[in-house]
């Protein structure tokens, strides 16, 4: 699967995509994550990519020409199914169900806006969907795009060390993850639950299932009320 992030600030994301599990998966060729600098597509002699809004008001609006040209150039380099997504507080809320839906595409093109937004005609012409990672406003779409890349990439076969990893984790099956412990057995007087030290795998599985249910009831009762298909 290929991820193409279009941004005026690629340096905000290169470190994120070179690190940890996503960095390793990209190196190994399991996924391809690339950032394209929208500014490199400007035809303006001063390399401008934004201008003041028609009708007045504060801030700057990203212009059609560099953004549309950038999207089209990147799309022309792709084969297979592609979805063009604009990261925006006005978008559909991103959740685990959306992750699975997006993972079915060969390519995701993630457009990041800055300033007070982008010219509406860019969305009309080239964007398939607006997506929001939560009900808050960021200074730009870059951090939101990083969340989408990370969450979708980890579902790609081979990206996580073992395939059962993401099947077993929080929200799969609509429950939160059970508590985890590692050495030492006692830390500042707090002991690891006895059952985990015993090696009785049936008993451990039962204990973990109970703790998952218990903490879901306590921390996220909304997950239990919802249609379970919503989280899958
Ligand atoms: C305002 C996405 C801000 C308008 C982007 C773009 C939050 C999210 C921006 C606009 C963003 C989010 C850029 N802030 N909740 N900032 O996913 O078109």
The residue contributing the CA closest to ligand 1 atom 18 is 117
Q: How far is the CA of 220 from the centre of ligand 1 (A)?
A: 26
- Cα–Cα distances in Å, from 173 out to 97, 103, 227? 12, 18, 11
The domains spanning 2-153 and 168-231 adopt the same CATH topology: no
Are 162 and 197 spatial neighbours (Cβ–Cβ below 8 Å)? no
Residue located via tokens 């990672």: 133
Give the nearest ligand 1 atom to 88 CA.
2
Mean pLDDT by 10 residues, the chain (232 residues): 98 97 98 98 98 95 98 98 98 97 98 91 98 97 98 97 61 87 98 97 98 98 73 46
User: What pLDDT shows up at residue 168?
Assistant: 47
User: What pLDDT shows up at residue 162?
Assistant: 78
Name the helix (H) or strand (E) containing 74: helix 64-76
Domain boundaries, the chain: 2-153, 168-231
Q: How far is the CA of 71 from the centre of ligand 1 (A)?
A: 18
- Total Cβ atoms within 10 A of residue 123: 20
State the alpha helices, DSSP H only, in 96-138: 96-102, 120-126
pTM across the whole model: 0.94
CATH number 3.90.76.10 given to 2-153: no
- Total Cβ atoms within 10 A of residue 67: 28
Cα separation, 82 vs 29, in Å, equals 19
**Ligand 1-lining residues (CB < 6 angstroms):** 87-89, 113, 117-118, 132-134, 136-138, 140-141, 144
CATH superfamily placement of domain 168-231: tRNA(m1g37)methyltransferase, domain 2 (1.10.1270.20)
Q: How far is the CA of 134 from the centre of ligand 1 (A)?
A: 10
């Amino acid at each position: 699967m290929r991820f193409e992030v279009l941004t005026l600030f690629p340096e905000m994301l290169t470190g994120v995509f070179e690190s940890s599990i996503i960095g390793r998966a990209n190196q190994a060729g399991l996924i391809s994550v690339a950032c394209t600098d929208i500014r490199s597509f400007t035809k303006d002699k001063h390399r401008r990519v934004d201008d003041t809004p028609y009708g007045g008001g504060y801030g700057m609006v990203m212009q059609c020409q560099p953004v549309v040209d950038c999207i089209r150039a990147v799309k022309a380099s792709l084969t297979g199914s592609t979805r063009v997504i604009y990261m925006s507080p006005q978008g559909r809320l991103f959740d685990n169900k959306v992750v699975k839906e997006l993972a079915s595409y060969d390519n995701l093109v993630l457009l990041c806006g800055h300033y007070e937004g982008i010219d509406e005609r860019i969305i009309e012409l080239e964007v398939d969907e607006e997506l929001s990672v939560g009900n808050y406003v960021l200074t730009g779409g870059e951090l939101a795009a990083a969340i989408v890349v990370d969450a979708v990439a980890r579902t790609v076969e081979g990206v996580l060390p073992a395939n059962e990893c993401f099947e077993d984790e929080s929200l799969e099956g609509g429950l939160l993850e059970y508590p985890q412990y590692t050495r030492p057995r006692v830390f500042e007087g707090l002991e690891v639950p006895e059952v985990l030290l015993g090696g009785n795998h049936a008993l451990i599985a039962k204990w973990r299932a109970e703790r998952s249910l218990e903490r879901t009831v306590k921390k996220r009762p909304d997950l239990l009320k919802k249609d379970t298909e919503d989280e899958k």
